[in-house]
Amino acid sequence: MRAVFQWSLAGRTLELGKRTLIMGIVNVTPDSFSDGGLYIDSEKAIAHALHLLDEGADIIDVGGESTRPGASVIATSTAVEGRAEESTSAEKIAPDSSRGPKIAVSAEEEMRRVLPVITEVKKLRPNAVISIDTYKSNVARAAIAAGAEIVNDVSGLRWDSQMGKAIAELKCGAVLMHMRGRPEEWRTLPPPGDIVLQVKRELRDWLEAAVVVGVRREKIALDPGFGFGKNFEQNYPLLARFQELQSLGLPLLAGTSRKSFIGRMLKRDEKDAAPADRLYGNLAAQTALILKGAHIVRTHDVKAAVDAARVADTILAEH
């Protein structure tokens, strides 16, 4: 069974659980792992967003910075002070050290990329639900002012100490995603003990930290962060035991679209399947996740996900 929630956003409430919602991805970036560069031009990004809405997307997730494996990210010094303790000291953010995070994309550049897309999509489709994929509070504020209603933060509100306060003040929806380490550290992270228990424990901690700074629980959805600091051997147990995350008591978002752990499973002649060749494997993963309790599926391939979700939802309804 899948719990039903009323997800409170900036300007409306979405019912989650009776039907799986599809979040379509619009990367306004030159370097995202799957579609980097395809939609860096704002006109192409706008057209793509409208196309995804026509295919049945319930939410459009607009991002202006890639967090692909190996990418550098920036964290504010105050965010560093409040960052949850990781399993090794090597995983701590140290902005004054030689290995500290570099500025991959400035807030100004990120806003230059995403704000025209959000503004124009809302102009052309006033009822569209838009999410901003960012970990920077000033980008989040600008995006909500432009018409977005959800902040999708891959850092779980940890990399910018002002993000929780911003979301509380904006009264928008928020997605807290789990990530181990930072993208530039992923290849060197030590293996976790039990990945599912770690994800549950840390998401619970980060959720409570958000509530302490004023973010209301009914504003929050959780994402276990498939592929984010998790390797091939860790993603499949997380997928197989996804239903255990329902104990956190909040809506669940799942994003497996075109991820490398899908490509590895589909390899032929010792070569991983390319991102464009991972659709069918991804649909299998998405269907399993819906049957295990996912409320929202984040995907590049909206039309296929819509069809798969309709079948999975029908199966759920028979339980």
CB atoms within 10 A of CB 190: 12
Active site residue 102: no
- Residues 9 and 150: their CA atoms lie apart, in Å, by 6
Note the residue count of the chain. Answer: 319
CA distance 167 to 318: 37
The structure tokens listed for 241 are: 């035991």
Catalytic residue among 158, 219, 230, 259: 259
- What does the H/E/C string look like for 152-220? EECCCCCCCCCHHHHHHHHCCEEEEECCCCCHHHHHHCCCCCCHHHHHHHHHHHHHHHHHHCCCCHHHE
- How far is C-alpha 66 from the chain's CA centre? 12
The answer to whether residue 298 is catalytic is: yes
- Count CB-CB contacts under 10 A for residue 304: 17
Residue 278 to residue 116: CA distance in whole angstroms: 31
Cα distance between residue 163 and residue 179, in whole Å: 16
Which residues, 6 or more positions from 31, have their beta carbon under 8 angstroms from its beta carbon?
37, 66, 68, 71
Q: Give φ, ψ of 207 to 5 degrees.
A: -60, -50
Residue in 141, 230, 278, 298 annotated catalytic = 298
In the block, tokens 């996804």 appear at 242
Residues with catalytic annotation? 259, 298
